[in-house]
Chains A and B, each alone.
Chain A
Amino acid sequence: MAKRRAAFYLMTIPALLLFFAFHTFPALQGIYYAFTNWDGYSDSFDYVGFKNFINIFKDENVLNSYLFTFKYAIATTVLINIISLLIALGLNAKIKAKNFFRGVYFLPNILSVLIVGFIFNYLFSNVFPVWGEKLGSDFLSQNILGNSDWAWIGIVIVAVWQGIAYNTILYLAGLQTIPHDLYEASNLDGASRWREFWSITFPLLASFFTINMVLAMKGGLMVFDQIIALTGGGPGRSTQSIALLIYTGGFQGGEFAYQSANAVIYFIVIVVISALQLKFLQKREMDL
């Protein structure tokens, strides 16, 4: 017994050390810098207390990026989950060339976010406007990414297009865990398709629903690559996510400590949101 335990320790302790060295320690360092005025490259810096945190609450750019990020995260989470659940239901049905379709729908997940972003960037600026012009629509004939009110929709479209691939796979896996005899029984009882979905499929998918919601929300809150590839945060600051603000302000703007403080606050926000989501959605699982 003792020997076995030693083997487990041997497995976990190196991992723990590595995790601490490359993850926990830099995070603690970041928290430390949040209380200084370090610009990211100077030799010296001073301790400034809570000044950075106070300034963050006074900075409307931070507020704007929070609003954008939440708007974006909620929209993508809802859309990704609805669409990928529908696709998964379709792919799980008895259709021809099922594996081929599964492959096709998974493809976007293999491509890099940045590459997908650049492709869509080109489409938005050079292809879609031409189509819009043919349709005679003034609105559709301009690049949606150049419109400060609508640019975020463009980013949502790209993120959803790519995001559904992964969540579809998770839902598919979930659907396969549902025993067939349940459907046979409901068939005998004469339940409609709709009734079947609400009373059998959806409740039994609950744990997959939870994990997909949390993953999609977390991904949405941390959005970065899509924005770099599509708008760079513009026009103005209308599509500047929190992660992008931290990066551009911290590294390009030379406000490393200030944005570290922003990152610390952001970290707490994400933890709280994920915890709430889990708590709320898991309760739903238990009830069933």
Chain B
Amino acid sequence: MKKTMKPVTVSLLAMSLLSACGNNSGSNAATDDGGNAASGEKVKIEFFQNKTEAKATFDKLVAQFNAANPDIVVSQINPPDAETVLKTRAAKQDLPDVIGLGATDTYKTLSASGLFEDFTGDTLVSSIQPAYVKMLNDLTGSSELNGIPFSANASGVIYNKAMFKEAGVAVPTTWDEFIAAAQKFKDSGKYAFYLTLKDSWTSLTPFNSLEPSILGTDFFKKRTEGSVTFSDSFREIAEKQLKLTEFAQKDIFGKGYNDGNTAFAKGESAMYLQGVWAIPEIMKANPSLELGVFPFPATNDPAKNKVISGVDTLLTISKESKHKEEAKKFVEFLLQPENVTTYITEQKAFPAVKGVTQNDPAMDGFKEAFTSGNLADFADHYIPGAMKVDTIIQSFLNKKDIDAYLKQLDTEWDKVANRK
């Protein structure tokens, strides 16, 4: 989701232009001749998913499925800027059979338009952790379940274990300890954080960690009803997010997500405010790096500091699909514990399926939150996409004017609501 969308959007857009012909012929082959199953031909299923990082893993799983099911051919489609592609395909009424998508605003709007199958009460759902099912229902605000959670991510703070040991800093559990640790790194001439605000979406990771622990995502429901405003409630979040910029490198608006992954991997900062999706990229840049994770200490009460975890990939089937049975068979296959294990091991994700666990020691810092359920969803999933909240935060951190920022959040929210 996050990680797939913006940072790679741009780079992949270029590639998509170069390889447009290839993509088109691929997807046409998969969609054109459905409905020939009766004549003994293979049923072709399109599996569309939005995570570039997961392409190779899904390729492997798809190959296994195709080998086990000689009469079905699943082909994976993983275009750049997948959510936009999906929306345009929805407009053309040409949705892929099986869709893998994050629980984002796109999922919310598309399922509100009634484009996905209803899985309420489906036997497949019984194997899924109820918390994630609830997350989807909370997001859409409807009792209908239009997707099956497959994997979850987690976001908080990634830290460099060697640098913490060297500086004699313990893992902070409260906001004050967090800032004290950051100050200690700053005093010794090191950067506590490496901020990558050239890519506006990265401004959302601290925002998403602060908001649910301080206010709770119920806020957005109340904001829609009109009983609260950003100006009344968001000051602490704004102040804390602004505070973090004091402990980062000089050119925070000049560096992007990819620069940040490399810089953190090379030990340029002690902490990195990203989710687990960044870990495979960081390890690529420096395989010997010893890193750990801990929940973002948003408040001074450790019990309130949640790990931010959203449905990273949910699986759903298009209502218009001509081969629902085969599509469902594929979804069932992906949800089998051994396949989920393959996926989460390679992707450093967390399983949404019961009975599977993420055992990577690097993730130990998040484990407790997962067992106790001290989790919260990404706050930005509750904010309409048209608001472009990431650019609003980016420009606030640039101008450092808290009052103007809070006012802008209110006016933009109302403006988007009025246009509906």
Contact = CB atoms under 8 A, between A and B. Distances in A.
Interface in A75-94: none
Given A41-B115, A43-B114, A55-B419, A129 B395 contact: no
A237 interface: yes
Interface residues of A, number: 46
Interface stretch (B10-18, B290-298, B343-351): B10-18
B198 A142 contact: no
Contacts of B6: 232
A151 B358 CA distance: 43
Contacts of A229: 10, 14
Given A59-B415, A228-B13, A37 B420 contact: yes
Interface stretch (B223-231, B247-255, B276-284): B247-255
A147 interface: yes
B392 interface: yes
A236 B395 contact: yes
B109 interface: yes
B255 A143 contact: yes
A144 B399 CA distance: 16
B259 interface: yes
Q: How large is the interface on B (under 10, 10 to 19, 20 to 34, 35 or more residues)?
A: 35 or more
B112 to A, nearest CB: 8
Interface in A12-71: 37, 39-43, 51-52, 55, 58-59
B12 to A, nearest CB: 11
A115 interface: yes
Contacts of B386: 249, 253-255
B115 A146 contact: no
A188 to B, nearest CB: 55
B199 interface: yes
A175 interface: no
A55 B418 contact: yes
B113 A251 contact: no
Contacts of B200: 232, 234-236
B198 A40 contact: no
B407 interface: no
Q: 6 closest Cβ contacts across the A-B interface?
A: A236-B395, A143-B254, A146-B253, A253-B386, A146-B254, A41-B90
Interface of A: 37, 39-43, 51-52, 55, 58-59, 112, 114-115, 118, 124-126, 129, 141-148, 228-229, 231-238, 248-249, 251-256, 258
26 contacts: A37-B420, A39-B109, A41-B115, A42-B112, A42-B113, A55-B415, A55-B418, A112-B18, A114-B14, A125-B198, A125-B255, A125-B259, A129-B251, A129-B254, A143-B254, A145-B198, A148-B253, A148-B395, A228-B10, A229-B14, A231-B198, A234-B395, A235-B197, A235-B198, A252-B385, A255-B419
Interface of B: 6, 10-11, 13-14, 17-18, 83-84, 87-88, 90-91, 105, 109-110, 112-115, 197-200, 250-256, 259, 384-388, 391-392, 394-395, 398-399, 415-416, 418-420
